[in-house]
Structure 1
Amino acid sequence: MGDAVEPVAQDSSSVSPEIVWPIKFKRPDKIARHIMQILNKEAMEAVKADREIPDIKPGYTVHLKVEVLENKCRVSILKGIVISRHNAGLNTTFRLWRLVVSVGVESVFPLYSPNIKEFKVLDKKEVRKAKLY
């Protein structure tokens, strides 16, 4: 009878902390790249939650409301044809071709930019090339 020992409940403060082993960084450039990919994905999801971003392709006619920073912030309305798209995660850009005073003008816009206030796809044309320069 003297040999029996009752289990005693331990509270969390008396438990020793877990041992954290040091991480061996064999390739710090790969680890940094992985961390940046995670941060880019989180930033893209935050922008997508804030406003709707349609999937655009070359040949689409789009209508943009862009905030232009001059002396004051004003909203500029642009309408044009998407002639290319460069996919790079958070840095994804698209090139818009439009006529300004009967002269063709190309403009490059970041897709996830906070300066783009509204984004509508007006028309979808099928094209055979990815870049319509």
Structure 2
Amino acid sequence: MKTKELVETLESNYLKKIYDENHPTPKAPLPPLGVGDLVKVGVLIREGEKERIQPYEGTVIAQHKSGMNSTITVRKIFQGVGVERIFMIHSPRIAFIEVLRCSQVRRAKLYYLRDCVGKQTRLKERFNRLDR
């Protein structure tokens, strides 16, 4: 067995284990994510002894799939300034990912939204989820 195959096998076994219901702290199963979706990501924030969940809501502009290291780039406008965050979707610091709206896009990466202002950033909504 080659190294790459071994790593892929170990990653898939680990992912099955953390999403198993019998795990001590099981993660909720991930919804089907896509570029252009409006998502709410719950991030665990530790402040001293306390932990809280901070929601981050924005549009998925990029998705990188590589097993356990899969990431999504989420962009939102906060006080007139564009803010982007990259989330590792299998991280223990991610409490939940909720899809609020699906959009119809024709690109794999929506980096052009960085240059758009105001109503130009709106994306056409997809009503039939089976189109993907």
Is 1:96 the counterpart of 2:98? The answer is no
The aligned residue for residue 20 of structure 1 is none
Residue 103 of structure 1 deviates from its aligned partner by: 0.9
1:68 matched to 2:39: no
Letter in 2 for 1:42: N
Structure 2 letter corresponding to 1:46: K
Note if contact 1:58-1:83 (Cα within 8 Å) is conserved in structure 2: yes
State the shift of 1:102 in Å. 2.0
Match of 1:121 among 88, 99, 104: 99
Asked if 1:52 is matched to 2:44, the reply is no
Please show how residues 4-43 of structure 1 align to structure 2 within 5 Å: 31-43=2-14
> Which residue in the other structure is 2:114 paired with?
none
% identity of equivalent residues: 30
Q: TM-score, normalised by structure 2?
A: 0.72
The runs of 5 or more residues in structure 2 that have no matched partner are 21-25, 112-132
* Unaligned segments of structure 1, at least 5 residues: 1-29
TM (norm. structure 1) is 0.72
- Residues in 1 aligned to 2:51 and 2:97: alpha-carbon distance in whole angstroms: 18
Question: Cα deviation per residue 1:40-95 (whole Å; 9 max; x = unaligned)?
Answer: 01112123333110111110001111102343432111111000100000100000
SS in 1 for 2:2: helix
Structure number with larger C-alpha Rg: 1
Equivalent pairs counted in the alignment come to 104
Residue 132 of structure 1 aligns with which residue?
A: 110
Q: What is the CA distance between 1:121 and its match in structure 2?
A: 0.5
